Homo-oligomer: A and B are copies of this chain.
Amino acid sequence: MQLLLIHSDYIEYETKKQTPVAEKIEDSLKSGRLEEALTVFTAVESVDEANPEEAIEKAASEIEKVAAQVKTNRIMLYPYAHLSSDLSSPKIAVQVLKGIETALSGKYEVKRSPFGWYKAFTVSCKGHPLSELSRSIRPEGTTKAAAKPEASGEKEEVVSEALKAEGTARS
């Protein structure tokens, strides 16, 4: 799973049109808005299909860490296929997105924009050094880790993310 986390003044969306795989939704999901929120653009990937529960748990944990860093308790989950060239099936994507929503709902105000719809959206990124972060979530035992080891320390992560955010790092 690929996550792009934007600390946002606001995020709002409005469904425009279904694609052939549009999630069936209640009217309440047709539009949404959160202010002072963490927007989590999310691409569920084929690597997540073997163990969706593990993917949900790891993603929720990463999102919690970033929400704590930027001190928000509002989260907008937003499906975003353009973050990956190796996507999961739509069925697994919806399962994982709903799973993350459920995992976070006890502790946060969570909204989720629907999968499989053309949507208009506006997002406002705050622009501070932690306001744009990306995370790769990978199953245990695969090469790309979900996050750097704790031992590498917060500062190193912040610097690394700062560089990444501005196109500097070679990985």
Contacts and interface: CB of A to CB of B under 8 A. Distances in A.
Contacts of A134: 82
B118 A165 contact: yes
Given A166-B19, A167-B90, A169-B81, A118 B128 contact: yes
Contacts of A121: 124-125, 127
B116 A127 contact: no
A116 B167 contact: yes
Contacts of A79: 166-167
Interface string A157-171: 000001111111111
A118 B129 contact: yes
Interface in A141-171: 162-171
Q: What copy number does this chain have within its complex?
A: 2
A54 to B, nearest CB: 20
Contact of A163 (B19, B119, B124): B19
Is chain A's interface secondary structure helix, strand, loop, or mixed overall?
mixed
Interface in A28-72: 43-44, 46
A124 B120 contact: yes
A46 B171 CA distance: 10
A89 interface: yes
Given A116-B167, A121-B124, A122-B123, 12 more contacts: A19-B165, A20-B168, A79-B167, A81-B166, A87-B167, A89-B170, A90-B167, A115-B166, A116-B168, A118-B127, A118-B162, A118-B166
